[in-house]
Structure 1
Amino acid sequence: MNETTGKYRAPALERGLDVVELLSEQDEALSKKEISERLGLSVNELFRMLYVLEERGFIAADEETGKFRLTLRTFELSNRHPPLQRLLSAASTELQDLADQTQQACHIAVHQDNMMVVVAQQDSPYKMGFTIRLSARIDIHGSGSGLAFLAFQTDSQANAILEKSNATAEQKQMALSQLEKIRRQGYFVGASPQISGVTNITYPIFNSTKKVEAVLTMPFLTLNSDSLHHQVVSFEDSRKAVGETAERLISAIGGVHPDAR
């Protein structure tokens, strides 16, 4: 449960947000008792909160068990945000085309609360591929998505974001040491710190104010053409395809590169 540390408190609103955040982290629905125990509240304290959240469509109760789960209401609201809405609209076919062309999965992530959040993704059309689920939260300091985003911030902005993240001092320094190279070449390429055999390719997507609206990432999975018995798209061809897709997305949202005059 998150604690509000600001000047003003709104206990009822905070409890409602605690419920939404708790359910967003669960793979299965929770009962009133389970929610109350995990939040340290009585069932009576939760009753009205759950009723209002259900009435507004943020949560839903299973007809058989009565347990609560999070709906897609919050995701729908976030998609109404104009810049993100434009990007997702443009990405709907672009990600599919990119995956078909390269036989690799791909996704788009945006910066939120010092993390990167996946807002669109496309599985590989082939039977093998590495996919990150929609709405997944990714560490900003240890991912291609995060480093590509940080590289196109000012030094002070990048430092401030890393200071507020969960990165250790060593991880912050490691991230900062890579930003100039990414900035020079215009994209990030590097081995995934979590999955062996996966190389992240990430390109920034700039908006009309020359800021990074989002980043496009392909977790390139190395495939063996001999054992698969079909032609495999090379890493370099895949990288170029990611870059071309990013350019089309930038154009689609009226974006401008930082170095454009």
Structure 2
Amino acid sequence: MFADDTELYKSDSPSEAFTLSRTIEACISDVKVWVVQNKLQLNDDKTEILLIGSAPGIDLPSSVRVGHSDISFSSAARNLGVIFDSELALKEQVNKLCQLAYLEIRRIGSIRQYLSVEATKTLVSSLVLSRLDYCNALLAGCPQVLLDKIQRVINCSARLIYKASKSAHITPLLFDLHWLPISSRIQYKIALTCFHIISGTAPPYLSELLRLYSPSRSLRSASDTRIFRVPRVCRRTLGERSFQYIGPVIWNSLSFSVRHATTLSSFKS
């Protein structure tokens, strides 16, 4: 529950989808009673219902009853600034992200002639890169075609800073700016979260998702106490994109010296 947003999540097997919708209706009814008792208001007509599932042809009613309104299932819904769709493809999120980023680039470009390189770099970092870094860990495992769209935004930003032409080679510019490609930025974010879990500075709701690996018999790798267990997942249900899977995969791929960094600053370096 947030100040202006109440969210309700429920999961079940596809065979129980119809029962799931009825359970959701009952839960919403209870929440509505609690809201009224606490002198608050639940906006029935502003409620959104999103069904996320990988099984085709799920038998569901056409709408869910919320108070006095019948709410149809949405194809996408915004949650804390991220647009989720029913297939977790995040295409709409990436398209909207790129649209807003290009808008900021055009605005900065209109006054670029009056700005120094450092001033332009500061504006791009605060108005463009900050958008690309927000919740970008959700894009782990997404198709490369979506990541390429975001990478083109980064390349455009680098050319804007140095007033380079579209045909200019982008790698030297990114190297000079010390900017990682989008795929590496995502891996960096996830690896940093794993480091906080290892060091005990992560919140419990993240720490409880990962488990350290402990071999069943004595092995040479048993002395390495900073390896996470990689769980088995189902690719059909997008399990390989979950933090429980992609986090240990990225973390375990780091070198021994990086995983055993003693401080946050040394790990980032």
TM-score normalised by length of structure 1: 0.28
Greater share of strand residues, 1 or 2? Answer: 1
Higher helix share: 2
Which protein, 1 or 2, shows the higher relative CO under an 8 Å CA cutoff with sep ≥ 6? 1
Provide TM-score, normalisation by structure 2. 0.27
Larger radius of gyration: 2
